[in-house]
Amino acid sequence: MTINELQEEIIGEFEMLDDWTDRYELIIDAAKGLKKQLPEADRNDQNLIDGCQSKVWITAHMVDGRMQLRGDSDALLVKGIVALLLSVLDDHTPEEIAKADLYFIDKIGLREHLSPTRSNGIAAMLKQIHLFALAYQAK
């Protein structure tokens, strides 16, 4: 699936829920269902994302020309946000990730329903993933 198709899937899931309590539960469920777990050894300062209120770790590796992203957080809601981001971006080429417009974050109303520090954290996560993509493009 393309990045935009994956975003549309998430938007569809959120549109079925009117209440933000239910939407938060959906995000927490995403955390519990994080498909690719981050190994404990990768939860280190080198992979820590600066600018996040909670601790967030994200790694990227190339496999057959596609970026394999892993992530985790010490906060359940933030881990759910990490899971949503990775569900859209994982297993795509660096070029696809670098040029991706991640409109689903605003379309589901996530930014407006988070504290400013959590919104800044999303921006920091996206910036790091984008930097990974640019670095792999340059290789």
Give the span between the Cα atoms of 101 and 11, in whole angstroms.
Answer: 14
Q: Are 59 and 70 in contact (CB under 8 A)?
A: yes
β-partners of residue 68 are 61
- State the catalytic residue, choosing from 10, 31, 38, 52: 52
Give the span between the Cα atoms of 73 and 132, in whole angstroms.
Answer: 19
Token output for 33: 């269902």
β-partners of residue 63 are 66
Give the residue carrying structure tokens 């974050």.
105
Q: Are 126 and 104 in contact (CB under 8 A)?
A: no
The reply to whether 122 belongs to the active site is: no
Residues forming the active site? 52
